[in-house]
Structure 1
Amino acid sequence: MSEIAGDRPGPLAAPIALPEWGVASLRKLAILAVLALAWQAAAVWTAKPILLPSFTQTMAALAEGLLNEGLVSSSWTSLSVLLKGYALAVAIAFLLVSLAVANGFARETLRTLISMFNPLPAIAILPLAMLWFGLGEKSLLFVLVHAVLWPFALATLGGFDAVPETQRLVGRNYGLRGPAYVFRILIPAALPSIIYGLKIGWAFAWRTLIAAELVFGVSSGQGGLGWYIFRNRNELFTDKVFAGLALVIIIGLLVEGVVFRALEAMTVRKWGMQR
């Protein structure tokens, strides 16, 4: 009884556990911080801002561009065109894949088209697009559809082919045919592959659009983000060029980390189809 109650150690407080998405976000922030420090150190060491502006100079140019130089409107011009082409390509791909599922000849036709056009860089057909559709949004939409259509169709068709036969039999036993069979059996079962295809299609579309705008850049009377980069490169505003490139990366990270992560959380992660 020599032990005093007040001296007894109390129960240890349970450590605060961050959610999985919070841990992943902290890791990404740490990686970005390390990259920013390395960038800053390299710029200070080279001491040639015309070739490699520092991270702080680039962020200052980015803030100036967003506030005073129309970088927001340029970004929205690019994104609006991208969303149109992306949605059109996804719709066409779903139609082609649905036909391929229902018909053997259509399947072989789609596989042949994918083998022909998927390796063809979208920017390589830009001269033809300019010849056929002129200098404007139609040319950009044409190359965007080409950039997204084939990789997304390939991923979706692969996902449909991987659906277990038992699930297919369940759909047939319930009398599902045509679009009902695709939307109620194949798409839910192949959703991880479809989302993966959407990610790949987004990345291809984003880089294709920036590359196309670097060539002629004008869409509906306005210059896009690629044109902002090209214009400042001609004027040797390297910090603004890096600011435009940084914004391309930031938008890509936001789409990947917010839009697609939310889509996965609401579907394949929630249903236990993906870790």
Structure 2
Amino acid sequence: MSNTLHPPVRPEYELPLQTFNEIAVERRLSFTSRLWAQGWLRKGVILIVLAVIWELAARWQNNDLLFPTFVATTHALVEGVISGELIEKVAISLSVLLQGYFIGVLVAFALTTLAVSTQLGRDLLDTLTSMLNPLPAIALLPLALLWFGLGRGSLVFVLVHSVLWPLALNTYAGFQGVPETLRMAGRNYGLRGLPYVLQVLVPAALPAILSGLKIGWAFAWRTLIAAELVFGASSGKGGLGWYIFQNRNELYTDKVFAGLATVILIGLLVENIVFRTLERVTVQRWGMQR
């Protein structure tokens, strides 16, 4: 009884604080470690190593007609840029690519907006993606030639097909992954239809949308080059793929490799400048992605 009325009191004690000088201070990273932490430097080293391997393999092969050296390819690339021929071909290809890419993005956004708004839209998106997503865009080229003729319209048609379905699938998957709490918050504010999609679903699903944009870009870029290898661009003017095809016919293998290197360089620039900057100012800044 007495123990219940008078419970034992735990003695108090105080831990003395250590002075600042006694705390172990983490040693700063060396200049070499900080420099190696830069992504651009590591990627640059990888590219240099690949270029050295290319040069050694080409010299061992010793046949410029089959496999030109890295030095010869670089010379042809610089020569094409200085003469303006390569710049003109790149400009033609990119103008067609951007047109088809943006049309594909708009159509994909319209389909996914309809899919998250109505049951009919979900059924439509599911049916179309199941039917058309496995179909290679380049397989539609003969049909595009019949419908739009030999020109820009045919290229844009196959580009829209190559962008539309991967972007729509990624965007819809991102919308489906939005937490229910955010959905309820948007509905509580009275958001419906397009405002609900733009203000709630798109910001929350932005990592998946950016992934779809990158996949769509890669599909569109390689589809365009493949299509131009067949029939060029509008009004008889060929793009970068046509440049590769013509030089292959004339056995200028160094220029063929220069065209292929240009395709790779443009892909690297778009990936590391455009999309990486877009990720840094959005999802990384918002803490949605590391």
Tell me the amino acid that sits aligned with residue 284 of structure 2.
R
> Match of 2:273?
258
Please tell me whether Structure 1 or Structure 2 has the larger radius of gyration of its CA atoms: 2
> Match of 1:7?
none
CA deviations 1:179-218 (Å, max 9, x no partner) are 1100000000000000000000000000000000000013
**Mapped pair 1:153 → 2:168:** yes
2:125 to 97, 110, 131: 110
Task: Say which SS state the counterpart of residue 202 (structure 1) adopts.
Answer: helix
CA deviations 1:196-249 (Å, max 9, x no partner) are 000000000000000000000132342100000000000000000000000000
What is the CA–CA distance in structure 2 between the aligned matches of 1:85 and 1:14, rounded to whole Å?
A: 47
What is the CA–CA distance in structure 2 between the aligned matches of 1:124 and 1:173, rounded to whole Å?
A: 47
In structure 1, list runs of 5 or more residues that go unmatched: 1-11
Moved over 4 A (4+): 16-20
In structure 2, list runs of 5 or more residues that go unmatched: 1-26
> Match of 2:233?
218
Q: How many residues end up aligned between the 2 structures?
A: 263
Tell me if the contact between 2:155 and 2:233 (Cα under 8 Å) persists in the aligned partners. no
**Mapped pair 1:34 → 2:55:** no
Task: Say which SS state the counterpart of residue 64 (structure 1) adopts.
Answer: helix
> Match of 2:115?
100
> Match of 1:195?
210
What's the CA shift for 1:112?
A: 1.1
What is the CA–CA distance in structure 2 between the aligned matches of 1:171 and 1:218, rounded to whole Å?
A: 46
What is the CA–CA distance in structure 2 between the aligned matches of 1:13 and 1:91, rounded to whole Å?
A: 49
What is the CA–CA distance in structure 2 between the aligned matches of 1:261 and 1:201, rounded to whole Å?
A: 15
1:90 to 105, 112, 116: 105
> Match of 1:47?
62
What is the RMSD of the two structures over their aligned residues, measured on CA atoms? 1.5
> Match of 2:93?
78
What is the CA–CA distance in structure 2 between the aligned matches of 1:165 and 1:64, rounded to whole Å?
A: 57
Assess, with a 3 A threshold, how the Cα gap between structure 1 residues 46 and 162 changes in structure 2: closer, same or farther.
Answer: same
Q: TM-score, normalised to structure 2's length?
A: 0.88
Task: Say which SS state the counterpart of residue 38 (structure 2) adopts.
Answer: helix
Tell me the amino acid that sits aligned with residue 156 of structure 2.
L
> Match of 2:3?
none
What is the CA–CA distance in structure 2 between the aligned matches of 1:242 and 1:251, rounded to whole Å?
A: 14
**Mapped pair 1:176 → 2:191:** yes
> Match of 1:67?
82
Tell me the amino acid that sits aligned with residue 82 of structure 2.
L
Tell me if the contact between 2:92 and 2:233 (Cα under 8 Å) persists in the aligned partners. no
Tell me the amino acid that sits aligned with residue 137 of structure 2.
A
Tell me if the contact between 2:175 and 2:201 (Cα under 8 Å) persists in the aligned partners. yes
2:285 to 238, 263, 270: 270
Q: TM-score, normalised to structure 1's length?
A: 0.93
CA deviations 1:60-93 (Å, max 9, x no partner) are 0001111115110100000000000000000011
Structure 1 vs Structure 2: percent identity of aligned residues?
62
Tell me the amino acid that sits aligned with residue 111 of structure 1.
D
What is the CA–CA distance in structure 2 between the aligned matches of 1:19 and 1:45, rounded to whole Å?
A: 34
**Mapped pair 1:58 → 2:89:** no
Tell me the amino acid that sits aligned with residue 118 of structure 1.
N
